[in-house]
Amino acid sequence: MAPLIPPASTLAPTSQPEPGEAERVAALHAAGILDTEPESAYDDLAQVAAYVCQAPVALVSFVDEARQWFKAEIGLGCREMPIDRSICAHAILEDELLVIPDLTVDPRTAGNPIVTGSDHFRFYAGAVIRSAAGVAFGSLCVLDRVARPEGLSPEQTATLRTLANQVSTLIEHRLSLSEIAAREAEFAASERRFRVMTAAMPQMVWTTLPDGFHDYYNDRWYEFTGVPAGSTDGEGWNGVFHAEDQERAWARWRHSLATGEPYEIEYRLRHHSGAYRWTLGRALPIRDAEGRIERWFGTCTDIDDLKRAESEARQLAAIVETSKDFIGLADEAGRTVHLNAAGLALVGLPDRAAARTLTLAEFFTPESRAAFEGAVMPAARRDGWWEGELAFRRVDTGAAVPVQFNIFPVRDSSGAKVGYGTVTRDLREAKRSEEARDLLIRELSHRIKNIFAVVGGIAALSARGNTEARPFVDAFRERLGALARAHEYVRPHTPDTAPALSGQTVLGLMRLIMAAYREDGRDRVAIAGDDAEIGERSATALALIMHEQATNAVKYGGLSTQTGTVTLAGCRAGDRYRLTWAEQGGPEVRAAPSRRGFGTVLAERSVAGQLDGVLEHDWAPGGLVMRLDVPIANLRL
């Protein structure tokens, strides 16, 4: 009678496994048992199975996709065989046990090479080995070369099942150990990652047990505090806090431990240098799946520089707000970002919201706005600043306000330009003071001119009735006129009152001023040497200095005697110009004066402040020698 099922040796391999087979094989591979080294625990189970079942061959067999592999084998002499020789491949399809009393007559095994070949196996009994999830991995089986029509006894059957269950337990134990090892490895790796991460963090990092006991600090903590490793474990950390902050920090920490709320506080922490630095302390609880706190993870961040910067920023803000100057900030498009109280008052704005609706250009009068847009901003972008006089327009009245306007770029920490700042000064009071001063100067100058005119008139009247006095009066009036002309250069000027200086030079100015000191047709002051062009500002300063020098010479020096003279010589040396005043024939100079007169002090300040030059006095016995040294470029101003 033909078998109902073809022998296993005639079954062709299929590329499409039975439903669930792929999952079974995957689970077997995941168990990690295949191709492992022999183990005595499995060998002992196979040995017991062979002994109890009185069989020459016993196997702990696992059925893979294309082979049958033996974790333990007794009496077979090999570790695996192809799937077409496997009888266990049929056993794993059973619920618990497969017993074939005579392999030669069972249609599933009659054609199997281990039955028909040199092995001549006739009997098979195998108990299924399953995973904890019930997946069939293989079987614990015994084989005999003699058929056993009676099969196994109840005791042998029970023992074989028990041994198969024990194999399953060993596999689960193996999986548990593997999982534990994997977890321990992951924990160790996680610990390493944690330490590497905390070592790389710029903050000080610490952890505590659920009760707040500190048990870990990273290297940054020890680098910052300089304390020995482990010395701040437990409650030792509070000792490195500033005494004034300890109780406050403890109270906040106890509150977090009691409530589980995040911990955050600022305190002063002792640096290894001994100084206390402000630090931000933070901590969060780490909870398990049930919400219980397992640990606290905390950080300390050095914020001392930030605190100082904030303090400086507050001070700067206070300075800006209390300043009497217009201080404003605009973005790159010129839109107002901030304006202080003085700025709001200067242009008649009610508040900062109103200021932010305007651009910088809209603060100016039409004439100054044209200058601002056409010259000021191009110069500020090109040179990095601009300063000069312009006029603001009050928003409320439209009145013009003269100002000293200063503008400069504002940059962020990376150096990128973010806008423009301005510090602008109200010039109205200064203009009023300047106008009052100019009026006083003009009045004084007018009175001095009147004095010159009156003295000249009196001299002329004296000469009308005395022909012999006429030559003296004429010389006197000529000298008086020279002094009047010198006075025009000595007195302060406004742009409207300054004398014309087109083409004027240093020595030309000196001849004009010293004309008053001619006597009997001869120059008491001999002027010679190199010449240089001179501008309005430097002409006034030089005229003041040399007029003061000539006045002193008439009173005390080389021009105070009939025979005394002065040599005034100019000398160019590179980019410098030296003017030397040398007196001869006057009274003997015994020592330098014990005090300086107002005129001398004024002259020295004019040299330093207006000409950026140097004024030296050499009180030689033969007569005073004064040297004035200035940059040639400054003479043209």
Do 163 and 208 belong together in one domain? no
Q: How many domains does the chain have?
A: 3
Give me the mean pLDDT over the 358-381 stretch: 92
Which structural domain range is residue 526 located in? 492-636
Q: Has residue 83 been placed in a domain? A: yes
Half-sphere CA count of 146, side-chain side, radius 13 A: 6
Res 201: pLDDT: 78
In a domain, 363, yes or no: no
Q: What is the pLDDT of residues 131-166, one digit of tens each?
A: 989 999 999 999 999 999 999 999 999 999 999 999
Task: Give pLDDT, residue 176.
Answer: 85
pLDDT band at 499 (very low <50, low <70, confident <90, very high): low
User: d(Cα 126, Cα 58) in Å, to the nearest integer?
Assistant: 9
What average pLDDT does this structure show over 119-137? 93
Q: Are 166 and 224 members of one domain?
A: no
* Residue 386 within any structural domain of the chain: no
Give me the CATH number covering residue 106.
Answer: 3.30.450.40
Q: Please tell me whether residues 239 and 147 are part of one structural domain.
A: no
Query: What's the pLDDT score for residue 501?
Result: 47
Residue 8 confidence (pLDDT): 36
Q: Which CATH number does the domain housing residue 267 bear?
A: 3.30.450.20
Mean pLDDT of the chain: 84
User: Residue 576's pLDDT is what?
Assistant: 92
**Residues 469-479, mean pLDDT to the nearest whole number:** 60
- Between CA 512 and CA 469 the distance in angstroms is 26
pLDDT in the model for residue 480:
61
pLDDT given for residue 45 in this prediction:
94
Quickly count: other Cβ atoms within 10 Å of residue 143's Cβ: 25
3 pLDDT more than 50: no
Shared domain check, 631 and 498:
yes
Last residue of a domain, one of 254, 275, 308: 308
Tell me whether residue 371 is in a domain.
Answer: no
380, part of any domain = no
Per-residue pLDDT, 254: 93
* pLDDT confidence band for 314 (50 / 70 / 90): confident
**Bridge-based pairing state of the strands 518-519 and 57-63:** unpaired
Q: Which of 286-295, 367-376, 507-516, 557-566 has the lowest mean pLDDT?
A: 507-516
pLDDT for residue 5 is more than 60: no
Angle between helices 470-490 and 428-464 (to 10 degrees): 170
Q: What is the tens place of the pLDDT at every residue in 18-63?
A: 448 999 999 999 999 999 999 999 999 999 999 999 999 999 999 9
| Separation between Cα atoms, residue 142 and residue 54, nearest integer Å | 9
- 447 part of a folded domain: no
Indicate whether 10 pLDDT > 50.
no
Cα dihedral 386, 387, 393, 395, rounded to 10, equals: 70
Q: In what order do the strands lie in the sheet with 293-302?
A: 214-217, 204-208, 293-302, 276-287, 263-270
Q: Following DSSP, what letter does each residue of 558-590 receive, concatenated?
A: TTSSSS-EEEEEEEEETTEEEEEEEEESSSPP-
- Whether residues 221 and 83 fall in one domain: no
Mean pLDDT in residue range 516-526: 78
pLDDT reported for residue 465? 63
- Name the least confident of 186-195, 236-245, 404-413, 471-480: 471-480
223 and 164 assigned to the same domain: no
The answer to whether residue 191 scores a pLDDT higher than 60 is: yes
SS (H, E, C) 148-207: CCCCCCHHHHHHHHHHHHHHHHHHHHHHHHHHHHHHHHHHHHHHHHHHHHHHHCCCEEEE
pLDDT: is 74 or 600 the higher one? 74
Candidate from 168-172, 487-491, 533-537, 591-595 with smallest mean pLDDT: 487-491
- Residues of 451-484 as b/e, b for ≥16 C-beta within 10 angstroms? ebeeebeebeeebeeeeeeeeebeebbeebebbb
- Asked if residue 497 and residue 571 are part of one domain, the reply reads yes
Token pair 């001398």 is found at 600
Residues 134 and 216 grouped into a single domain: no
Final residue in a domain of this structure, among 293, 308, 323 = 308
Across 611-623, average pLDDT: 86
| 540 has a pLDDT exceeding 90 | no
Please say if the pLDDT value at position 14 is more than 50: no
What is the predicted pLDDT for the residue at 251?
Answer: 92
Q: Which of 272-286, 468-482, 509-523 has the highest mean pLDDT?
A: 272-286
The pLDDT score that the predictor gives to residue 466 is: 67
Residue 432, both tokens: 């009023």
Question: How does DSSP classify residue 268?
Answer: E
Domain of 608: which CATH number? 3.30.565.10
Cross-strand partners of 596: none
pLDDT grade for 453, boundaries at 50, 70 and 90: low
Each residue of 214-240: pLDDT tens digit? 888 888 999 999 999 888 888 777 788
Amino acid at 527: I
Domain boundary among 274, 308, 342: 308
Domain assignment present for residue 323? The answer is: no
pLDDT of residue 603: 75
For the chain, state the CA radius of gyration. Answer: 56
Overall average pLDDT of the 117-144 stretch: 94
Residues 164 and 255 in one domain: no
Q: Do 160 and 214 belong to one domain? A: no
Largest CA distance in the chain: 183
Distance CA 512, CA 507 (A): 9
Examine the domain organization and report whether 148 and 93 are in the same domain.
yes
Q: Is residue 557 part of a domain?
A: yes
Query: Token pair for residue 243?
Result: 């005494």
29 & 127 share domain: yes
- Write the pLDDT tens digit of every residue in 298-313: 999 999 988 888 888 7
Contact 527, 516 (CB under 8 A): no
Write down the pLDDT at residue 523. Answer: 79
- Which residues, 6+ apart, have CB-to-CB distance to 79 below 8 Å? 69, 70, 73
Mean pLDDT computed over 462-468: 64
d(CA 633, CA 637): 7
